[in-house]
Structure 1
Amino acid sequence: MLSATGTPGRAGPGRPCDPRLTVDLRGAPGSVTWRLPENEPVADAVPCVVLADRAGCAEFAVLQDTLHQLGVPSVRVDAESVAALRLSATVTGGAGHGGHGRTRCVLDLDGRRIAPTVVWARHFSPHAMPATADAAQTLLLAESWHAFVRQLCSLAPASLPGDRPGRLEQLAGAAAAGIRVPRTVVTTDPARAAAAIPGRRVVVKVVGEHFVETSPGLLTGVLPEIAARAEVLRRPALAYPVIVQEHVEHDAELRVYHVAGAVHAYAVGKRAPDSPWREEAEVTVTPVAAPPAAADAVRRLASLWGLTYGAFDLLLSGGEVVFLEVNTDGDWRWFETKAGGRAVSTAVALAVRTLHLTALGNTGPPSPLDLVDFLLLGTRTHGSGR
């Protein structure tokens, strides 16, 4: 996440958007950052990891530096910079196009020829693309770049995070897998939904993203809320659907990161769902060993949805795991900074390195890092978001 500005308010998905809780990225400069071998070949394309994100997010800056230390070439493109890019792409091969063998995509990006091995796009929303004076031109620019990056993910030998199931798909999939989920109603009438859910409190959240981007770089929060059931019973109907869930009493809340089969867990202490934004200093984040049932649930769901990476939000209630949601673009540097350490950053870099080497035809396990190389992974630090 990124730091929010403004004063506390009572915004929620069942209320009007609260303009006092905003994230302003309009001053964040976009860029193209290269980390290629010093003596890169000129005649052929350089096998390269492609990272696409937003300028205000810290995760890929850390990842790219770590990949460089591991000897993995990469290029990082921020959404804010795309309008200035010079791009040509050539796709060859692939049985689906009358060719034989594996599809190969070669990019000429700002005069450098690369062959993407791994593509990871996160927060690369068309809403983040720069605006022009012409509304139609703005939409064309945004949708074209978004479509290109999405299709590049499909063409690359490997891409992250994997599938992107929506919240309703997630809840249905988890329930079908035998994992407890909160009782849920999706409705344009929160009062009617609250009447069908027992308990003194309910949780109300949006069906889609927790932020709406009213103009490029200006985000308004529509964050989950825990509300008194009696109060929700008095709310008017809405013009859009929201999720209304039972409030599950729990012993602990976990943020569990799934990275290529490995799991890294943090216990999160907070007063309310929006506390990381409104009262960041009051939130506690502690690294913990993932309970076996939680680790098993995360791995099963990641396999179900084809996720190499995902940030899972779980509750532990009386020893039972309750699945809330998975954020396939979930940030990790904020949690690492709060808790101390770089476990997820290191795991992510090593996973991308393995995918890169596999794309090069190295089917065996990657060569182990020596002690010096491993220690170097923790020597670089960056600012972070949530």
Structure 2
Amino acid sequence: MLGQGGGPPWPAPPVTVDLRAPSPAAVRWLPEEECASRVVLADRAARGEFAALQAVLHRLGVPSVRLDAAQADGGRDPLTISLDDGLVTLEGRSFRPTVVWARGPMPRAIPDGYAGSLIGADSWSALVGQLAALAPAGLPGGDRAGRLAQLAGAAAAGVRTPRTIVTTDPRTAEALKGDRLVVKVLDEHFVEAAPGHLVGLLAEVVGREALMRRRPPGFPVIVQEYVEHDLELRVYYLDGDLHAFAVSKPSPDAPWRNPAAVSVRGMPVPPRAAAVVGRLARGWGLTYGAFDLLLTPEDVVFLEVNADGDWRWFETKAGTRALTNAAASMVRTLHVNVLRAAAPPPIGGVLDFLVLGSETW
């Protein structure tokens, strides 16, 4: 029997994230000198991953250009892309992209001084997101499938997933077992309400009785069984290379609301988790992905994969730079292969270690 819905609606108060860039520079070149070919890194500058990645690529001798996707300013020197020869001209410099890595969320709330309209904002977003079509190698690879498609695909591949329903009224989740349920949005957690300000509704673990008393949110949401587990893992897949972090947090939204309560430590990837991640990443054609998994005594439970998943926050919490170094080595290998200058050196891994040094900050 459904409750009367006299309590608050499902979503807890939203969380706001400030992604305004700390610097006005929208394009960063390393090295500054002209280069015929470059890696292209496109993201919101405030997120930090690509700043660290570009610095390591420079140390590895890989030319790159980093674009702040939030600062698409039509008043700058023209940006021109030739589809005939794949040549990109930006700020008066011309180059051919070898590897393009574009990460979301791309800007949507761009003021009139930048784009003038939602169509203009979408056009800049589409350009950044589709730059990979110009390069022989694009990241993250594969399709950015939604959560339902991911869950269905994982289940079809023989991987356990939480029992799930999608509903406009979470109180109809009576078929799901357990006293606790997980409620999350169907699409992206965040929207850009104003330039650089993301507002998000985060996943919650809700007691069944409390959920029955809440009003429906007014839009479709995912409701899942809460899976009791021994360990929560974030596993990063980088073109076959795997890195894992064990995550302990009091609630799903703690990384945003109470980061001090979240514990993160690097660990070897459990073989059964590695098998699941490798199977799904290959099946979905991913070159990069951040997989969220639960380990139970019997199973590996797939929650979701984020093809734009951050890694610097996890690195900082765990006191390592392993992901940034691994991402740089992956991009360099793709870059070298595209240039056809030579196959990746057999001792490339050793050279990378000597150049990059220790994995701790």
1:123 to 104, 115, 121: 104
User: C-alpha distance in 1, partners of 2:244/2:81?
Assistant: 39
Tell me how far 1:221 sits from its aligned partner. Answer: 2.2
Whether 2:8 is the aligned partner of 1:29: answer: no
Match of 2:5 in 1: none
Tell me how far 1:25 sits from its aligned partner. Answer: 2.8
Match of 2:160 in 1: 180
The 8 Å contact of residues 183 and 205 in structure 2, kept in 1 or not, is answered as yes
Match of 1:191 in 2: 171
Alignment of 1:77-96 (within 5 A): 77-83=67-73, 84-85=75-76, 86-92=78-84
The 8 Å contact of residues 14 and 242 in structure 1, kept in 2 or not, is answered as no
User: C-alpha distance in 2, partners of 1:269/1:301?
Assistant: 24
TM-score normalised by the chain length of structure 2: 0.90
User: C-alpha distance in 2, partners of 1:370/1:243?
Assistant: 42
Match of 2:90 in 1: 109
For the residue of structure 1 that corresponds to 2:326, the secondary structure is helix
- RMSD between superposed Cα atoms in Å: 2.3
Tell me how far 1:211 sits from its aligned partner. Answer: 1.5
The 8 Å contact of residues 251 and 317 in structure 1, kept in 2 or not, is answered as yes
Go from structure 1 to structure 2 and tell me whether the alpha carbon gap of 1:161 and 1:110 turns closer, same or farther (over 3 Å shift): same
User: C-alpha distance in 2, partners of 1:126/1:326?
Assistant: 21
The 8 Å contact of residues 166 and 222 in structure 2, kept in 1 or not, is answered as yes
For the residue of structure 2 that corresponds to 1:374, the secondary structure is helix
Give a deviation string over 1:278-308, Cα, whole Å, max 9, x none.
1111111111111111001001111111111
Tell me how far 1:369 sits from its aligned partner. Answer: 4.4
User: C-alpha distance in 1, partners of 2:171/2:217?
Assistant: 10
For the residue of structure 2 that corresponds to 1:127, the secondary structure is coil
1:364 to 327, 343, 347: 343
User: C-alpha distance in 1, partners of 2:134/2:222?
Assistant: 35
Match of 2:253 in 1: 274
2:306 to 323, 327, 334: 327
User: C-alpha distance in 1, partners of 2:357/2:66?
Assistant: 20
Tell me how far 1:319 sits from its aligned partner. Answer: 3.4
For the residue of structure 2 that corresponds to 1:150, the secondary structure is helix
Percent identity of paired positions between Structure 1 and Structure 2? 56
1:51 to 41, 44, 60: 41
Whether 2:57 is the aligned partner of 1:73: answer: no
User: C-alpha distance in 2, partners of 1:124/1:198?
Assistant: 34
User: C-alpha distance in 2, partners of 1:120/1:186?
Assistant: 32
2:296 to 317, 333, 343: 317
Alignment of 1:234-249 (within 5 A): 234-249=213-228
User: C-alpha distance in 1, partners of 2:221/2:127?
Assistant: 31
Tell me how far 1:32 sits from its aligned partner. Answer: 0.7
Go from structure 1 to structure 2 and tell me whether the alpha carbon gap of 1:26 and 1:151 turns closer, same or farther (over 3 Å shift): closer
TM-score normalised by the chain length of structure 1: 0.85
Go from structure 1 to structure 2 and tell me whether the alpha carbon gap of 1:342 and 1:381 turns closer, same or farther (over 3 Å shift): closer
Alignment of 1:87-236 (within 5 A): 87-92=79-84, 104-127=85-108, 130-132=110-112, 137-162=116-141, 163-192=143-172, 194-236=173-215
The 8 Å contact of residues 62 and 380 in structure 1, kept in 2 or not, is answered as no
Large movers: runs of 4+ above 4 Å: 369-373, 378-382
For the residue of structure 2 that corresponds to 1:198, the secondary structure is coil
Amino acid at match of 1:121: A
Tell me how far 1:141 sits from its aligned partner. Answer: 2.2
> How many residue pairs end up in the alignment?
350
The 8 Å contact of residues 21 and 45 in structure 2, kept in 1 or not, is answered as no
Go from structure 1 to structure 2 and tell me whether the alpha carbon gap of 1:378 and 1:353 turns closer, same or farther (over 3 Å shift): same
Q: Which consecutive residues of structure 2, in runs of 5 or more, have no partner in the other structure?
A: 1-7
For the residue of structure 1 that corresponds to 2:182, the secondary structure is strand
Give a deviation string over 1:123-178, Cα, whole Å, max 9, x none.
251325x31169x8221321111222233212310100012111111100000000
2:51 to 61, 68, 76: 61
